[in-house]
């Protein structure tokens, strides 16, 4: 299921140029389509968090599968860009519902190994991102872009039925039964929530603008179109081991230094990318960037989910996730508009790297003065705080 919901968010990136040709518009103007998927993912999170104070995680996950099926089917028949944008928004909506329900469920199913299991879950999600470019190339070889969404709809229907069948046989935890106050939980845990928002909101904004235009950026650096598309697969593929390795590290290392390392690593890698040319140097920097950025997600999820008490976990996580996602959702639209205005990608991402450097220094200053929540410490890796 996680493979499919993430595929629905990232599939638009390798399709942008195909969609632009089919609808006779510029690639830059389709940034709004890519952003719509992330806006949908953001806007569904608070309602889902509220819903989880009234119903079970299992029902919410099954609902996400149903929404994904409907959205993918509608997208496959979109006759114009506005309706394509609506379809992207709905596919993002499904992902937001899923992650808000599923990530706390995973952490509660495996309380002794939160980082590791979130890493495995994230790896399955990342396989979708890594394979999106290859899947699109394969589908376009036998049909048009609409077939991609028809196949997604079919797979979503099958996965939802399979999930419900598995849930009926599972012994599900009752850890979140006392989590019934979305606002109260957010206020009680506001410091750790705010830290997650600052880290993921800023880094994610830049990342969203980068990966959605990565093939176009690689073409601007002189790569052939086919090779440029494959570079997106390299970028996402590097994230597959990052989820597993960093998930394990998050169970063993202090959470805040790990997060700070990811922020400065991504900013440095991005700055290096702007100065890099040539196929193999670009491959090397792409692997570095892909690994570092995908280390962010298991690190920050472990930071929050392993530290938040049972009676606040899902609600506080919802507040963090919804706000951070909404903040980062506009990244591709901003980069697209700047590109259409004639600003080069190297210039855009050089400034972005500098801005992230400022964020990093601010976080370091807060951490040095004990103003950032420390998260779970390594010696407590075997249990949740409650």
Convert the pLDDT of each residue in 99-110 to its tens digit. Answer: 888 888 887 777
Residue 289, CA distances (Å) to 21, 169, 196, 351 in order: 29, 40, 20, 17
Q: For position 31, what pLDDT does the model report?
A: 79
Do 283 and 238 touch, CB atoms closer than 8 A? Answer: no
Structure tokens at 356: 């992230």
CATH 1.10.3720.10, domain 2-376, yes or no: no
Q: For position 386, what pLDDT does the model report?
A: 34
Q: For position 72, what pLDDT does the model report?
A: 96
Structure tokens at 149: 């969404």
- Identify the burial level of 346 via C-beta atoms within 10 angstroms of its C-beta, where 0-12 means exposed, 13-18 middle and 19 or more buried: middle
Q: For position 101, what pLDDT does the model report?
A: 87
Task: Give me the percent of the chain exceeding a pLDDT of 90.
Answer: 44
Q: Where are the domains of the chain?
A: 2-376
The half-sphere exposure of 243 on its side-chain side, counting CA atoms within 13 A, is 20
Global pTM value: 0.77
Structure tokens at 244: 């597993």
Q: For position 268, what pLDDT does the model report?
A: 97
Angle at 126 between CA 124 and CA 131, to 5 degrees: 100
Q: For position 176, what pLDDT does the model report?
A: 57
Single out the residue of 205, 207, 229 nearest to residue 217, CA to CA: 229
- Cα–Cα distance for residue pair 57/201, rounded to 1 Å: 25
Q: For position 384, what pLDDT does the model report?
A: 40
Spans of the chain below 70 pLDDT: 172-179, 375-386
Structure tokens at 353: 């790297």
């Amino acid at each position: 299921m996680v493979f499919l919901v993430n595929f629905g968010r990232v599939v638009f990136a390798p399709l942008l140029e195909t969609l632009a040709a089919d609808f006779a518009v510029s690639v830059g103007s389709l940034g709004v389509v890519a952003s719509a998927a992330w806006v949908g993912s953001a806007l569904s999170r608070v309602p889902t968090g509220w819903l989880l104070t009234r119903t079970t995680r299992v029902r919410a996950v099954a609902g996400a599968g149903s929404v994904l099926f409907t959205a993918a089917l509608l997208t496959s028949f979109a006759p114009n860009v506005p309706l394509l944008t609506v379809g992207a928004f709905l596919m993002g909506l499904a992902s937001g519902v899923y992650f808000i329900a599923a990530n706390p469920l995973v952490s509660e199913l495996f309380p002794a190994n939160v980082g590791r299991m979130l890493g495995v879950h994230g790896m399955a999600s990342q396989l979708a991102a890594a394979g999106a470019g290859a899947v699109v190339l394969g589908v376009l070889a036998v049909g048009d872009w609409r077939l991609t969404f028809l196949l997604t709809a079919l797979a979503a229907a099958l996965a939802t039925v399979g999930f419900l069948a598995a849930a009926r046989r599972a012994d599900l935890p009752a850890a979140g039964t006392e989590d019934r106050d979305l606002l109260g939980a957010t206020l009680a845990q506001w410091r750790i929530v705010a830290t997650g928002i600052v880290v993921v909101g800023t880094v994610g904004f830049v990342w969203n603008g980068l990966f959605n235009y990565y093939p176009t950026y690689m073409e601007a650096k002189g790569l052939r179109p086919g090779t440029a598309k494959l570079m997106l697969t390299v970028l996402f593929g590097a994230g597959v081991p990052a989820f597993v390795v960093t998930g394990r590290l998050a169970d063993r290392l202090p959470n805040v230094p790990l997060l700070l390392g990811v922020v400065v690593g991504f900013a440095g890698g991005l700055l290096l990318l702007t100065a890099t040319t040539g196929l193999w140097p670009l491959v090397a920097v792409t692997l570095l960037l892909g690994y570092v950025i995908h280390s962010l997600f298991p690190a920050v999820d472990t930071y929050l989910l392993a530290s938040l008490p049972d009676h606040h976990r899902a609600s506080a996580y919802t507040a963090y996730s919804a706000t951070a996602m909404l903040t980062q959702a506009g990244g591709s639209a901003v980069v697209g508009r700047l590109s259409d205005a004639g600003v080069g990608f190297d210039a855009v991402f050089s400034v972005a790297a500098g801005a992230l450097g400022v964020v990093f220094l601010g976080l370091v200053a807060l951490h040095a003065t004990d103003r950032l929540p420390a998260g779970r410490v390594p010696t407590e890796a075997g249990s949740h705080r409650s």
